[in-house]
Amino acid sequence: GQNIDQPTEMTATEGAIVQINCTYQTSGFNGLFWYQQHAGEAPTFLSYNVLDGLEEKGRFSSFLSRSKGYSYLLLKELQMKDSASYLCAAMDSNYQLIWGAGTKLIIKP
Amino acid sequence: GAVVSQHPSWVICKSGTSVKIECRSLDFQATTMFWYRQFPKQSLMLMATSNEGSKATYEQGVEKDKFLINHASLTLSTLTVTSAHPEDSSFYICSARDTQVDYEQYFGPGTRLTVT
């Protein structure tokens, strides 16, 4: 079956760095997405990885290892506004997104 | 660019009535649109995939006669919740795939439905 695993909740301190891990199993693979979702709002796109390696975009970076079925989202210089749920989603061979349950990130001052 | 709108943003209706939610891609053409439902503190659950000009594909467990989906044009898909019940109260989110870029999905702002 198809499956996405990510931690349910993480806590970090303002100004610090946090890494949110995601492992996936899908029928075929067309890339790995990370979305940010604030409470009561729709998800917003953060990153897309289809090749192995690290993609950096400002304070956020995303890493993919296709052989390990593994990705992580790295958030640097954490700000209070980064408190949100972070959703990992893998795209299968039919270009359908398989969603993880999301990681709730709590930022403390 | 790549903006998706939903209307209404929130709606309250009485049990037994029907509610229509619109999803529009404002500045791109979307051959495929997706309808999701999200209950509090839970992840997105795909309800159906809507393809322009053809019948929607529903996920297992989603009643196609209760959740009517119409995708009549490349910029508009509608979801109608028929004979709504309180358990249908949820956050409904659509996303649209840009036909020019296979992997990109853009989300609408969501519609909060409350059935009393």
pLDDT digits (tens, 9 = 90+) for A94-109: 878 899 999 999 999 9
- Does the distance separating the beta carbons of A43 and B103 come in below 8 Å? no
User: Nearest CA of chain B to the CA of A45: how many Å?
Assistant: 8
**pLDDT over threshold 90, residue B14:** yes
End-to-end CA distance of chain A: 40
Partner-chain residue, chosen from A30, A41, A100, that has the shortest CB–CB distance to B43: A100
CB-neighbour burial class of residue A86 (10 A; exposed 0-12, middle 13-18, buried 19+): buried
In this model, does residue B35 exceed pLDDT 90? yes
> Looking at CA atoms only, how far is residue B5 from chain A in angstroms?
11
For residue B39 the two structure tokens come to 């209950």
Looking at residue B97, its pLDDT comes to 86
Residue A51: pLDDT band by 50, 70, 90 thresholds? Answer: very high
Which residues pair with residue B70 across a beta bridge?
B78
| Residue A95 with chain B: CB contacts under 8 Å | 97, 102-103
3-state class (DSSP) for residue A1 = coil
How many interface pairs between A and B have CB atoms less than 8 angstroms apart? Answer: 43
Kindly report, residue by residue over B57-111, the tens digit of the pLDDT: 999 999 999 999 998 888 999 999 999 999 999 999 999 987 666 677 889 999 9
Q: Is the dihedral of CA A58, A100, A86, B100 positive or negative?
A: positive
